[in-house]
């Protein structure tokens, strides 16, 4: 079999080299055109790339243009080579078509790797399997360039798996997996771009932005599957059977997952809890760091993060300390001895509150005599602070230190529990007893 019957640019080029040799007409002209296209591609990419990744148009534009910037050189190179093939009317040595196929494969591989990195940010498996993914993509491109794609497809089509009245070949399975993966990658990438653009705007409420992103991502994935299945010959009517199976699963085993998923959308839509709120949930106090489809991430004061199912927030009482107002009240309880003059102590505490930068003048600080306890006079010292996201431990520490210093300078003691133990001599025994 002659090599030219393979009907690929690579075999045509090898056939020409075998018949004519290096002195064939048009070879050096195509080499010159190839070098010229490479130089022009390098210059154009060097000129366009800084403008693509510039932040003048906003972060969302820069993120969307990073993908184009990463494939810019091979893309321009490939376009120029294709243009040269169309315009060059002289003798051909089939070199430019071979290089065009290689450049197209290079562009495809680099685009796929960028999409995977952009979708699965900081995913450990991407770094582990990146070389394998690149190798598989280059293998697929090599089969096409070498003209072996049809032979491999025919061999895979002969491997058949009987499934009832139908027979599914290995080729159909692999094509289905590849089609679904490609459409899902594209859908997830579009969802990532949409998320960054929406989350970067301040014109919309944070909860509404999260809902919008989740709905858009779900719809993109759904349409990606709807588009991918017919491409491999799968009838969409099978989804009705699959939907019935999912419905049965939801009834018997997935009701908790469905409940958490629906609860997450309810929380986001009614805006009862937003990202950044200071809340008390099940005796845990912390800031809402994130709201996902299944759970809420609560950042606790010690740095730990509590994962709380969304259903818990719907079915139990949640104390939102910053629901309508970001100001919170900090209360300190202290005892002074009964001999202390409260007319001196209470103005002193108010003066300490006014000396702090975080304490707000309105609402004004307040001091109350709460109870007359067994350990002394119990005072409630309350102040209002803003920026609930900064926490309260720092202001509590600052006020306590100032109270200790002021009381020490004024000679006022802080009362505490006191216990007196009296030792009595045993009674003398009477004589003769």
Q: Is the pLDDT of residue 2 over 60?
A: no
When comparing pLDDT for 394 and 161, which is higher?
394
Kindly state the average pLDDT of the residues 336-359: 88
Kindly state the average pLDDT of the residues 425-432: 63
Q: What gap in Å lies between CA 69 and CA 44, rounded to an integer?
A: 11
Kindly state the average pLDDT of the residues 257-271: 75
What's residue 267's pLDDT?
A: 77
Q: What gap in Å lies between CA 95 and CA 85, rounded to an integer?
A: 10
Quick one: pLDDT band at residue 415, thresholds 50, 70, 90? confident
| pLDDT one-digit tens code per residue, 178-234 | 777 778 878 887 887 787 777 777 766 666 777 778 788 888 888 887 777 776 666
What's residue 16's pLDDT?
A: 66
Q: What gap in Å lies between CA 51 and CA 189, rounded to an integer?
A: 22
| pLDDT one-digit tens code per residue, 31-49 | 888 888 889 988 888 888 7
Q: Lowest mean pLDDT: which of 5-19, 80-94, 267-281?
A: 5-19
Q: Is the pLDDT of residue 422 over 70?
A: yes
3-class state of residue 376 by DSSP: strand
| pLDDT one-digit tens code per residue, 55-68 | 554 544 444 556 56
| pLDDT one-digit tens code per residue, 316-336 | 888 887 777 778 888 999 888
3-class state of residue 341 by DSSP: coil
User: Of the spans 7-21, 134-148, 254-268, 401-415, which averages the highest pLDDT?
Assistant: 401-415
Q: Is the pLDDT of residue 380 over 80?
A: yes
What's residue 13's pLDDT?
A: 67
Q: What gap in Å lies between CA 161 and CA 28, rounded to an integer?
A: 52
The radius of gyration of the chain's CA atoms, rounded to the nearest angstrom, is 37
CB 96 within 8 Å of CB 81: yes
What's residue 174's pLDDT?
A: 78
| Residue 120: Cβ-neighbour burial (10 angstroms; 0-12, 13-18, 19+) | middle
**CA-wise closest residue to 346 among 392, 377, 375, 386:** 377
When comparing pLDDT for 350 and 14, which is higher?
350
DSSP string, 82-111: HHHHHH--S---SHHHHHHHHHHHHHHHHH
Write phi, then psi, for 84 (nearest 5 degrees). -65, -40
CB 49 within 8 Å of CB 21: no
3-class state of residue 329 by DSSP: strand
**CA-wise closest residue to 339 among 413, 406, 417:** 413
Between CA 277 and CA 286, with CA 281 as vertex, the angle to 5 degrees is: 45
For the chain, what is the mean pLDDT?
Answer: 76
What's residue 401's pLDDT?
A: 92
What's residue 1's pLDDT?
A: 35
| pLDDT one-digit tens code per residue, 116-173 | 777 776 566 667 777 777 787 778 777 777 767 777 777 877 877 776 566 677 777 7
Between CA 384 and CA 394, with CA 390 as vertex, the angle to 5 degrees is: 70
Quick one: pLDDT band at residue 5, thresholds 50, 70, 90? very low
| Structural domains of the chain, ranges and CATH numbers in brackets | 3-147 (no CATH), 237-324 (2.30.30.60), 328-410 (3.30.70.100)
Helix (H) / strand (E) element for 132: namely helix 124-145
């Amino acid at each position: 079999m002659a090599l030219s019957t393979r009907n690929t640019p690579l075999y045509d080029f090898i056939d020409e080299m075998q018949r004519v040799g290096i002195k064939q007409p048009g070879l050096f002209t195509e080499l010159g055109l190839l070098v010229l296209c490479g130089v022009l591609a390098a210059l154009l990419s060097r000129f366009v790339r800084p403008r693509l990744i510039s932040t003048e148009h906003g972060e969302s534009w820069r993120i969307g243009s990073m993908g184009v910037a990463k494939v810019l050189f091979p893309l321009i190179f490939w376009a120029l080579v294709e243009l040269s093939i169309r315009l060059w009317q002289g003798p051909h040595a089939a070199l430019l078509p071979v290089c065009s196929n290689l450049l197209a494969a290079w562009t495809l591989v680099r685009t796929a790797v960028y999409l995977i990195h952009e979708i699965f940010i900081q995913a450990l498996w991407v770094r582990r399997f990146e070389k394998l993914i690149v190798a598989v993509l280059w293998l697929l491109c090599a089969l096409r360039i070498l003209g072996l794609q049809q032979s491999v497809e025919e061999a895979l089509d002969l491997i058949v798996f009987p499934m009832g009245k139908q027979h599914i070949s290995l080729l159909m399975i692999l094509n289905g997996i590849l089609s679904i993966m490609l459409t899902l990658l594209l859908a997830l990438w579009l969802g990532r771009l949409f998320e960054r653009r929406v989350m970067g705007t301040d014109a919309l409420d944070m909860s509404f932005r999260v809902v919008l992103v989740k709905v858009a991502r779900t719809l993109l994935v759904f349409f990606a599957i709807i588009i991918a299945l017919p491409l491999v010959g799968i009838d969409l009517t099978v989804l009705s059977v699959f939907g019935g199976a999912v419905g049965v699963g939801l009834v018997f085993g997935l009701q908790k997952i469905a409940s958490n998923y629906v609860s997450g959308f309810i929380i986001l839509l009614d805006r009862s809890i937003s990202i950044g709120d200071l809340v008390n949930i099940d005796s845990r106090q912390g800031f809402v760091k994130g709201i996902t489809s299944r759970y809420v991430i609560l950042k606790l004061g010690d740095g730990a993060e509590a994962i709380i199912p969304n259903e818990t927030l719907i079915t139990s009482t949640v104390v939102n300390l910053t629901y309508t107002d970001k100001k919170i009240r900090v209360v300190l309880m202290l005892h002074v001895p009964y001999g202390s003059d409260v007319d001196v102590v209470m103005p002193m505490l108010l003066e300490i509150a006014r000396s702090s930068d975080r304490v707000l003048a309105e609402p004004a600080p307040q001091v109350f005599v709460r109870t007359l306890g067994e350990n002394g006079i119990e005072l409630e010292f309350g102040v209002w602070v803003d920026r609930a996201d900064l926490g309260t431990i720092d202001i509590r520490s600052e006020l306590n230190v100032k109270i200790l210093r002021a009381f020490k300078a004024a000679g006022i003691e802080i009362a505490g529990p006191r216990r007196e133990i009296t030792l009595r001599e045993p009674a003398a025994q009477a004589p003769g007893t």
